Amino acid sequence: MNTSAVAVAALMLALPFSSQPVAAQITEHREIVGALPFEIPSLRLKGSVRPAPGARLYAVTITLGEEPIETDVRRFVLVTSDGTYEPIGAGGRADIIIPLDRVPLGREVGEILPSDAVLALTRTSTTSVTLEVGPRGTIAFLYELPTGVTVRSLRLPDGRELTIAP
């Protein structure tokens, strides 16, 4: 292996997962009408997520490629006609969302996905939740948006944007 190939390989290994390219495609996106129920059996917690007055809930589901991902969940930013929004929840499907504010500090909650990949959310600080998902995993993100905005794209942790067709 030549010197430049070794340098590139060392650089790629040194980069955190969140900086490396994310192979992903949008598989679903939709408005959630009304409240979205949730349950976290490991915490014996049930409830529902409701949008604030003048807002709506919107879910975007992606499927990963062959590489796992580990990054702060807030790096999956929804781009709209009114600006950008960070997720308020995540899970394996749009109907199985874990609200990020319900993940306790220092605890991990998650699920085994149909692809046998594991999705795990870990609160690492009062403002940060790490998302870990195995190869070929699906991730649904939940956003709270003002009623009148148009959704344009999902910005991935590596900065690329996946267009969301109307």
Mean per-residue pLDDT pooled into runs of 10, the chain (166 residues): 41 44 90 92 91 96 94 97 97 93 94 92 96 96 96 96 91
How many other C-beta atoms are found inside a 10 Å radius of the C-beta of residue 33?
Answer: 9
pLDDT of 23 reads 86
Smallest CA-to-CA distance from 98 within 68, 145, 133, 134 is with 133
pLDDT of 56 reads 96
Regarding pTM above 0.95, the answer is no
Instruction: Tell me how far apart the alpha carbons of residues 55 and 6 are, in angstroms, rounded to a whole number.
Output: 50
pLDDT of 6 reads 39
How many other C-beta atoms are found inside a 10 Å radius of the C-beta of residue 61?
Answer: 19
pLDDT of 20 reads 58
pLDDT of 16 reads 43
CA angle 48, 50, 55 (to 5 degrees): 160
